[in-house]
Chains A and B, each alone.
Chain A
Amino acid sequence: KNQVEQSPQSLIILEGKNCTLQCNYTVSPFSNLRWYKQDTGRGPVSLTIMTFSENTKSNGRYTATLDADTKQSSLHITASQLSDSASYICVVSPSSGTYKYIFGTGTRLKVLA
């Protein structure tokens, strides 16, 4: 069964610290993996998207990595800010041209001053 599992479920860190969120997937075939940020009460916003041939992608202080062999991805946030408080969702696309993306349940991050 195609699944995307994220850990931890929730995380609290102090402002200025770094953190890493994990995503493991059992999706086959695999086309690409996306990370989204969802602020409370808002829709998700795309952060990064990586194909199987890419193993790292950055967007400002956000860096995503992908290991297609072990089917793992991580999202690293550097020098966290209060505005990073949000849910982070990992999404896997089974094949190019599909509309049936597999969504993880997200990691809820809280950054404290």
Chain B
Amino acid sequence: DVKVTQSSRYLVKRTGEKVFLECVQDMDHENMFWYRQDPGLGLRLIYFSYDVKMKEKGDIPEGYSVSREKKERFSLILESASTNQTSMYLCASSLSSLGSIAKNIQYFGAGTRLSVL
């Protein structure tokens, strides 16, 4: 089974702190994603990575950056946390965006619930 592991289930940080959210997948997937999930809204894409050191902005990249130095690890960075970044953050991976539909099924981590005070 594919396993996507997010390093923390819950985090509480102060406004202005630099925050790192880590995600690791164990299936050699090419693609990794960071989403945030807020009540009443669908998942919104923050950043996407299709290879090591490669990234694409999603729909809401402002206030976030990412790092993918190794294929299995994708980090989300909040440079200076703000209260409006309080949310559930979900990491996902998929084998590929090309080829059969089965290759781009996304596998999600359990999520990190971040509270910024």
Write out the residue numbers on chain A whose beta carbons fall within 8 Å of the beta carbon of B109: 43
Name the distance in Å between B53's Cβ and chain A's nearest Cβ. 16
B101 touches A103 (CB 8 A): no
Which B62-117 residues have C-beta < 8 A from chain A?
Answer: 90, 92, 97-98, 101-102, 104-111
A99 touches B101 (CB 8 A): no
A98 CB contact (under 8 Å) in B97, B106, B107, B110: B97
Let me know if B43 is at the binding interface, CB within 8 A: yes
Write out the residue numbers on chain A whose beta carbons fall within 8 Å of the beta carbon of B59: 100
Let me know if A106 is at the binding interface, CB within 8 A: yes
Complex alpha-carbon distance, A73 and B31, angstroms? 27
If A99-B31, A106-B42 touch, whether A43 touches B92 (CB-CB below 8 Å) is: yes
- Count how many chain A residues have C-beta atoms less than 8 Å from C-beta atoms of the other chain: 25
If A51-B101, A100-B58, A103-B43 touch, whether A41 touches B50 (CB-CB below 8 Å) is: no
Which B26-55 residues have C-beta < 8 A from chain A?
Answer: 31, 33, 40-45, 48, 50
B111 touches A105 (CB 8 A): no
A105 touches B40 (CB 8 A): yes
Let me know if A94 is at the binding interface, CB within 8 A: no
Write out the residue numbers on chain B whose beta carbons fall within 8 Å of the beta carbon of A104: 42
Which A43-62 residues have C-beta < 8 A from chain B?
Answer: 43-46, 49, 51
Complex alpha-carbon distance, A101 and B50, angstroms? 15
If A89-B42, A98-B97 touch, whether A46 touches B105 (CB-CB below 8 Å) is: yes
Complex alpha-carbon distance, A98 and B97, angstroms? 6
Let me know if A102 is at the binding interface, CB within 8 A: yes
Let me know if B24 is at the binding interface, CB within 8 A: no
Name the distance in Å between B43's Cβ and chain A's nearest Cβ. 4
Let me know if A32 is at the binding interface, CB within 8 A: yes
Write out the residue numbers on chain A whose beta carbons fall within 8 Å of the beta carbon of B98: 96-97
Write out the residue numbers on chain A whose beta carbons fall within 8 Å of the beta carbon of B43: 44, 89, 103
Write out the residue numbers on chain B whose beta carbons fall within 8 Å of the beta carbon of A1: none
Let me know if B21 is at the binding interface, CB within 8 A: no
Write out the residue numbers on chain A whose beta carbons fall within 8 Å of the beta carbon of B48: 99
